[in-house]
Amino acid sequence: MSDQTRNVFVSHIHEDDAGLGELRALLEKNGLAIRDYSIHSDNPNNANSEDYIKSQILAPRIRACGPRRATT
């Protein structure tokens, strides 16, 4: 496996935060470093508008984790 760093967003509920740590450890054990763009319960968003949450909080994080584009 490659020793490159990847941006990762994992959609989950806060009750599953511990699983994110386990996932990170598993990936790192297999040579993949990650930058975690997920939203955790220790740093929750407090927005109430579903549209705002989708467009201003989640969408930018997901885009940051999108497929790499070839550069020439």
The token pair that represents 41 in the structure block? 């319960």
**pTM for the whole structure:** 0.64
Q: pLDDT for 23-63, tens place per residue? A: 888 988 988 888 878 777 777 777 889 899 889 988 988 88
Is the per-residue pLDDT at 72 higher than 50?
A: no
pLDDT computed for residue 44 by the predictor: 75
Rg (CA), the chain: 14
> Do residues 39 and 57 make contact, with C-beta atoms less than 8 angstroms apart?
yes
